[in-house]
Each structure stands twice: as C-alpha cells, then as structure tokens.
Amino acid sequence: MRKVEVTPYQSQWEERFKESAASLQDLLGAEIVTIHHIGSTSVPGLAAKPVIDVLPVVKDIKRIDAYEAVMRAEGYMPKGENGIAGRRYFAKGGDSRTHHIHIYEQGHVQIARHLAFRNYLRNHAEMAHTYGQLKIELASRFPLDIDAYIKGKEHLASELDRLALLWQRLQPSGE
C-alpha cells in the first residue's frame, strides 16, 4: 500500500534529479535529446511528495520500448503509456516511490504542459504555496488513499495547468 506523504521542500531534490538524469543519460544514450526536472520537487519552496519526476525527451518514443529490460535492471518498472498516448512511464521504488520517469518524443504537447506548470509555479510563489498547502492537507486526510489524494488536488491542478499555459503564451521568450 502506498502511503501518501507530503514534506516541506528539500534542497537535495535537485541533486537527486541530477543524479537520475545522469543515470538515464547513461542508460538511454543517443536516444536522449534533453532531460527536464518536473513536478513539485522541481519547484523551490513547494511542499511535495518526495518523488522525483524526470522528463527525458527522446528522438523516437518507439525505440524506448527496446530499453525496458535495461530500465528494469536499474529498478525502473515499465508502465507503458500509463494513460497518456505517446508517453513511456516508469516508476521506481514500488510502494515507497522515489522516481517517476515520463519519457516523451520531442514535440509532444505534454512536454510544454509540464514545463509551463513548473515554470508558472516557480514564478508565482503564492500559487505554489496554495498548491502546497492543499497537498499537505490532503496527505493528512488521506494518508493511505493515493486515489483520494489525487482526486482532491485535481481541480486546483487543472486550474494551475490552465493558468500556466496562458502565462507561458504571454512570456516574451517563450520560456
């Protein structure tokens, strides 16, 4: 059973991302275009489940299927698309998750969405705080029910997605 734990931001999350990115670069080699740190652990100051979300961008998503055994050997459990067409998703740590790997082919619309969400929260501390407080409250109310936790933050997360994409379009550099 997965326990829902939300902790205050930890500066070592960035280092854990860098270690994961280096490992994935070694595993997937020339397939990798770039690797991004996404999710709540990528936003300084944001309370989060201590699970590092990594988004490798690859040249051809279909070629990633050939790496399942290599990923499995490193502790990453393949989950296929896991509900998002064109993604390859891997989880590490079993019920005590440590990493989520979301692999997309360059140009996939989900890449821009994830980066907009991250960048919006990095630039809007008040919204990040509101989101973090909700996650803390939900983890306290549903410590053994990951589905209720996810459902509880769904409305705010969707609104943040909408605001982030709008904000992203208004940025002069497109970053």
Concatenated DSSP letters of the chain? ------B---THHHHHHHHHHHHHHHHHGGGEEEEEEESGGGSTT--B-S-EEEEEEES-HHHHGGGHHHHHHTTEEE-TTTTSTTEEEEEESTTS--EEEEEEETT-HHHHHHHHHHHHHHH-HHHHHHHHHHHHHHHHH-TT-HHHHHHHHHHHHHHHHHHHHHHHHH-TT--
Label residue 172 by pLDDT band (50, 70, 90). confident
**If you count them, how many residues does the chain have?**
175
Q: Provide, rounded to the nearest whole percent, the portion of the chain with pLDDT above 90.
A: 95
Which of 112, 94, 96 minimizes the C-alpha distance to 104? 112
Which tokens hold the place of 55? 């988004």
Tell me what pLDDT residue 49 has.
96
Checking DSSP bridges between strand 87-92 and strand 32-38, what pairing results, if any? unpaired
Label residue 51 by pLDDT band (50, 70, 90). very high
Whether 174 has a pLDDT exceeding 80, the answer reads no
User: Average pLDDT of 60-76?
Assistant: 97
User: Average pLDDT of 144-163?
Assistant: 97
Label residue 2 by pLDDT band (50, 70, 90). confident
What CA–CA distance (Å, rounded) separates 7 from 133?
11
Tell me what pLDDT residue 126 has.
97
Taking the domain 12-170, which CATH number applies? Answer: 3.30.460.10
Tell me what pLDDT residue 1 has.
74
| 78-137 pLDDT, tens digit each | 999 999 999 999 999 998 999 999 999 999 999 999 999 999 999 999 999 999 999 999
Whether 175 has a pLDDT exceeding 80, the answer reads no
